[in-house]
Amino acid sequence: MIYTVTLNPSIDYIVEVSDFNLGSLNRMTRDLKLPGGKGINVSRVLKQLGYDSTALGFLGGFTGEFIQEWLSDEEINTNFTSIKGDTRINVKLKSDQETEINASGPIITNSEANDFLTVIEQLTSKDVVILSGNQPASLPDDFYQKIILKIKALGAEFVMDTTGQTLLDSLAFHPLLVKPNHHELAEMFHVTFSSVEEMIPYGKKLIEMGASYALVSMAGDGALFFTRDNVYQSTVPKGKVKNSVGAGDSMVAGFVGTLLKENDSQLAFKTGVATGSATAFSDDLAKKSEIENLISQVTISSINN
Active site residues: 249
* Helical axes 38-48 vs 247-262, angle rounded to 10°: 50
> Which ranges in 8-138 belong to alpha helices (H)?
38-48, 61-73, 110-120
Return the bridge partners of 94, or none.
16, 98
Q: What are the φ and ψ backbone dihedral angles of 274, each rounded to 5 degrees?
A: -65, -40
Q: Checking DSSP bridges between strand 177-178 and strand 157-161, what pairing results, if any? A: parallel
Distance of CA 197 to the CA centre of its chain: 25
CB burial readout 60-95, b (16+ within 10 A) else e: beebbebbbebbeeeebbbebbebebbbbbbebbbb
Return the bridge partners of 158, or none.
129
- From residue 86, give the alpha-carbon distance in Å to each of 44, 55, 65, 120, 294: 22, 18, 10, 22, 38
